[in-house]
């Protein structure tokens, strides 16, 4: 009994570590968050591992503890949202409300994997031993395999689609028409200072994000305000940006190209490398709030 309890906890923690690796790749975070997530993983795994034996012993108060854990995980979501919102003013490129909500929801949902994998490990162990009359070692093995299998399923389910899966990202040209900053003939903003124009021309990069297959659904995703801000923030987190807080001319702005329903984006990274810029844009996760736009046009193609 003690051995399967410990194994259930270990597998629950492993399941969180697996998905945490995915989180950290998509959502840059800090070491302190890693520690807090591991502590929550231990708590959730312990609750999941003890639930089945507690129910066998008719200790129904364990369900109360489980509900308290779920409430705590929801509080983690609210805390994460508040922390990220409070940090917005300190960022040179903001995350935006949509991306913040996506990150907060992710940290809540991922925490439930610890409970479910530990619960599955413990449940399969007890079923194997009491119903199938398999020995102690065999039951532990089946329980562990079931828990790890569920963890791997969660890992696959939680990997989000990225911009690269719905759109082509190609280099674009920065130019000026008087004071107007343009990317592929799409007007971005009014840049009055000659020094700002020179910085764009010398250090700036630009891309065009074109929805694949001329699809209005894909176009609706990339044109969503929340998704646009997410793209800008991911570029900032990967490449940095050559600006200070008092230089509004260099805030990255994504504009719609009405000719093909694409996006164009000028950007001034610390390192001028178009391949890294394209890779950052392609790797931007698609946030849930950007989905569902232009659904009525799913049967139509974008006219070039």
pLDDT tens-digit profile of 120-146? 998 898 888 888 878 888 888 898 899
Q: What confidence category does residue 32 fall into, taking pLDDT thresholds of 50, 70 and 90?
A: low
Pick the residue with more confidence: 284 or 32?
284
For residue 279, is it within any domain? yes
Residue 192 in any domain: the answer is yes
> Cβ neighbours of residue 296 under 8 Å, at least 6 residues apart?
none
Q: How many domains does the structure of the chain reveal?
A: 2
Q: Is residue 303 part of a domain?
A: no
154 and 168 belong to one structural domain = no
Q: Output the average pLDDT for the chain.
A: 86
Last residue of a domain, one of 139, 158, 177: 158
Most confident range (mean pLDDT) of 2-16, 101-115, 230-244 is 230-244
Q: Do residues 252 and 129 both lie within one domain?
A: no
**Does 25 score more than 60 pLDDT?**
no
Residue 95 CA to residue 83 CA, distance in Å, equals 12
33-43 pLDDT per residue, tens: 677 778 888 88
Domain-embedded: residue 183: yes
Q: Is the pLDDT of residue 27 over 60?
A: no
Whether residue 136 lies inside any domain: the answer is yes
* Residue 274 and residue 170 share a domain: yes
pLDDT at res. 289 = 87
pLDDT in tens, 205-222: 999 999 998 888 999 999
Residues 16 and 2 in one domain: yes
Please give the residue range of the domain that contains residue 273: 163-297
pLDDT at 170: 95
Q: Which of 158, 182, 199 represents a domain boundary (last residue)?
A: 158
Do 136 and 203 sit in the same domain of this protein?
Answer: no
User: Do 242 and 110 sit in the same domain of this protein?
Assistant: no
Shared-domain flag, residues 145 and 169: no
Residues 140, 197: one domain?
Answer: no
Domain match, 131 and 222 both = no
Q: Are residues 49 and 148 in the same domain?
A: yes
Q: What pLDDT is recorded for position 90? A: 86
With respect to residue 304, please indicate whether it lies within any of the assigned structural domains: no
Q: What is the pLDDT of residue 208?
A: 96
Predicted confidence at residue 31, as pLDDT, reads: 62
At residue 67, the pLDDT reads 77
Q: How far is CA 169 from the centre of its chain?
A: 20
> Considering the entire predicted model, what is its pTM?
0.84
Query: Is residue 4 in some structural domain?
Result: yes
- Residue 182's pLDDT band, with cuts at 50, 70 and 90, is very high
Q: What is the reported pLDDT for 287?
A: 92
Residue 302 lies in a domain: no
The rounded percent of the chain whose pLDDT value lies above 70 is 94
- Confidence (pLDDT) at 30: 59
pLDDT, one tens digit per residue, over 154-176 is 888 887 889 999 999 999 999 99
Q: What's the pLDDT score for residue 198?
A: 94
Q: Are residues 81 and 108 in the same domain?
A: yes
pLDDT band for position 232 (50/70/90)?
very high
Q: Please spell the DSSP secondary structure of the chain, one letter per residue.
A: -HHHHHHHHHHHHHHHHHHHHHHHHHS---HHHHHHHHHHHHHHHHHHHHHHHHHHTT-THHHHHHHHHHHHHHHHHHHHHHHHHHHGGG-SS---HHHHHHHHHHHHHHHHHHHHHHHHHHHHHHHHHHTS---HHHHHHHHHHHHHHHHHHHHHHHPPPBGGGTEEEEE--EEEETTEEEETTEEEEE---HHHHHHHHHH-EEEEEEEGGGBHHHHHHHHSHHHHHHHHHHHHHHH--S--TT-GGGS---EEETTTTEEEEEE--SS--HHHHHHHHHTPBPPGGGTTTTGGGTT-B---
194 shares a domain with 284: yes
Over range 87-103, report the average pLDDT.
Answer: 90
Last residue of one domain, picked from the residues 102, 127, 158:
158
The residues, ordered by sequence, that sit 6+ positions from 140 with a Cβ below 8 Å of its Cβ are 3, 4, 7, 125
- Across the range 264-275, mean pLDDT stands at 95
């Amino acid at each position: 009994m003690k051995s399967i309890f410990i194994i259930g906890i270990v597998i629950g923690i492993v399941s969180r570590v697996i998905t945490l690796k995915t989180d950290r790749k998509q959502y840059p975070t800090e070491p302190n968050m890693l520690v807090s997530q591991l502590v929550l993983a231990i708590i959730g795994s312990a609750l999941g591992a003890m639930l089945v034996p507690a129910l066998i012993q008719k200790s129904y108060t364990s369900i109360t503890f489980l509900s308290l854990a779920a409430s705590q995980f929801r509080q983690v979501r609210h805390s994460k949202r508040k922390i990220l919102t409070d940090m917005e003013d300190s960022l040179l490129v903001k995350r935006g409300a949509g991306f913040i909500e996506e990150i907060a929801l992710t940290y809540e949902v991922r925490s439930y994997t610890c409970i479910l994998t530990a619960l599955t490990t413990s449940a399969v162990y007890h079923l194997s031993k009491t119903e199938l009359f398999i020995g102690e070692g065999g039951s532990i093995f089946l329980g562990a395999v079931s828990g790890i299998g569920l963890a791997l399923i969660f890992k696959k389910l939680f990997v989000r689609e990225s911009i690269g899966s719905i759109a082509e990202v190609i280099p674009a040209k920065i130019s000026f028409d008087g004071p107007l900053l343009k990317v592929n003939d799409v007007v971005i903003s009014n840049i009055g200072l000659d020094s700002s124009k020179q910085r764009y021309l010398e250090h700036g990069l630009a891309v065009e994000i074109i929805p694949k297959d001329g699809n209005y659904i894909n176009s609706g995703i990339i044109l969503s305000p929340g998704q646009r801000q997410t793209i800008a923030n991911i570029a900032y987190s990967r490449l940095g940006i050559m600006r200070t807080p008092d230089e509004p001319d260099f805030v990255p702005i994504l504009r719609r190209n009405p000719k093909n329903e694409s996006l164009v984006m000028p950007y001034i990274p610390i390192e001028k490398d178009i391949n890294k810029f394209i890779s950052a844009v392609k790797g931007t996760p698609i946030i849930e709030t950007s989905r569902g736009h232009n659904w009525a046009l799913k049967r139509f193609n974008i006219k070039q």
